[in-house]
Amino acid sequence: MFKSRVDEVLSRFVAHEADQLLAIDADLGPVAEQVEVAVAHGKRLRAAFCYWGWRAAGQPDSDALVRAAASMELVHAAAVVHDDIIDDSPLRHGRPTAHVALRSALRRRPRATTAARSLAMLVGDLLMSLAGQLFATSGLPAAYLARARPLWAALARELIAGECLELLRTGAEPDTAESLKVIRYKTAKYTVEQPLLIGGALAGAGQRLQEGYSCYGLPLGEAFQLRDDLLGLFGDPALTGKTNMDDLRAHRPTALLAETWRVADEAEREQLRTLLGRRDLGVDGLEAVRAVMSRLKAPDRIEQMIGARVEEATRALGDMDIPAHASRALTGLALSAAVRRH
């Protein structure tokens, strides 16, 4: 099973790196632990898209390619650690986030909360560095790796641009077009498009196939994040592993909020203004926002946006000249990314 192969690569690689940290000083134990925790869970979608970017270009299965693809999950782990710090999220996969968990190692120190956030930031930095290391030492020929190297620069630039745009637009008046731009750069590109393009570049895919990957990957990546936004507010925390309060307390510029705002009257907007961005938002406030969103059918419109993007992606897939097994796999991945409960 592909996921188990990626899990094994990540667990062995990160365990070795954690041991290297501990060899420097035993006091680094809590940091080493969080490096391992950061990669312990995940759907491994990003690795899967990289793998099938390779296979769809006609290349055979390869353990070296699986190692290269697994590096995409370290990029994701780094982004998650940083994102949780930025949003001050308390939970991820039902466990304390890195900056929360690290407080226990500093509980008797002055400014423990600030120091824990700083340690978590460094954990994220290390994970991003390890992503490049795993990719470079995957075992693929140097010429293959060189073809993909420029895409790594684009991946990092676009991911950081998306995070910055979200911060710059947090708390601003919601706007659907602006929210979709944040989604595209913060999530869609590094979740689907860039892993596909990197896998394709490693395989020597031509320009036409790479263009097809983008036509498939961008709308599907947007659908993935739109689903995440819906689950973040209306999903079951027992399945998502996160609180439903995060997006509202942070007043994040989600498309779900923007679609609500777009059709809300002034009284409804005023009600939202009193609730959004409140750190003390409780269950009653959450239910009040959900009620406004449901009454204005914003979740239904997001579902329609998801459906339209999945259709666009699968249509692009049908236009690509790729092996049947790759087409079936990418069709299945499209459903896994967009139709899920966590």
In a shared domain, residues 176 and 29? no
| pLDDT for res 34 | 97
What CATH number did the domain enclosing 214 receive? Answer: 1.10.600.10
Give the pLDDT means over successive 10-residue stretches in the chain (342 positions).
97 97 96 96 96 98 98 97 91 90 84 92 98 98 97 95 94 94 95 98 97 98 96 92 88 94 97 92 95 97 97 96 97 92 80
Please check whether residues 11 and 133 belong to one and the same domain: yes
Identify the domain boundary among 139, 168, 202: 139
Residues 166, 311: one domain?
yes
Q: What is the pLDDT of residue 93?
A: 82
Q: Are residues 242 and 330 in the same domain?
A: yes
The DSSP code for 229 is H
Residue 322 confidence (pLDDT): 97
Judge if 329 and 294 occupy the same domain.
Answer: yes
pLDDT of residue 340: 86
Shared domain check, 93 and 109: yes
Has residue 45 been placed in a domain?
no
Q: Which domain holds residue 97?
A: 1-40+63-139
Q: At what angle do helices 207-234 and 283-295 cross, to 10 degrees?
A: 120
- Asked whether residue 10 is assigned to any structural domain, the reply reads yes
Looking at the fold, whether 260 and 246 belong to one and the same domain comes out as yes
277 in the same domain as 149: yes
Residue 107: per-residue pLDDT: 79
Query: Residues 310, 219: contact at Cβ < 8 Å?
Result: yes
Angle at 65 between CA 39 and CA 120, to 5 degrees: 20
Query: What is Dmax (Cα atoms) for the chain?
Result: 62
Q: Are residues 163 and 281 in the same domain?
A: yes
Burial code of 219-240, b = ≥16 C-beta within 10 A, e = fewer? bbbbbbbbbbbbbbbebeeeeb
State the pLDDT at residue 100.
Answer: 93
Question: Do 155 and 133 reside in the same domain of the chain?
Answer: no
Which of 88, 120, 139 delimits the end of a domain?
Answer: 139
Q: Tell me if 48 is assigned to some domain.
A: no
Quickly tell me which residue has 């710090």 as its tokens. 85
Given this model, what pLDDT does residue 323 score? Answer: 97
Give the per-residue pLDDT at 87: 86
Predicted local distance difference test score (pLDDT) of residue 110: 80
Residue 34 phi, psi (nearest 5): -70, -30
Identify which of 34, 310, 57 has the alpha carbon closest to the alpha carbon of residue 199. Answer: 57
- The predicted structure's pLDDT at residue 105: 83
Q: Round the CA-based radius of gyration of the chain to a whole number and report it.
A: 20
C-alpha distances (whole Å) from 7 to each of 2, 63, 156, 339 are 9, 13, 23, 23
Task: Record the tokens describing residue 277, joined without a space.
Answer: 């961005």
Number of domains forming the structure of the chain? 2
pLDDT of residue 258: 96
Residue 213: its pLDDT value, please? Answer: 98
**Final residue in a domain of this structure, among 139, 167, 183:** 139
107 plus 169 within the same structural domain: no
Same domain for 101 and 202, yes or no, is no
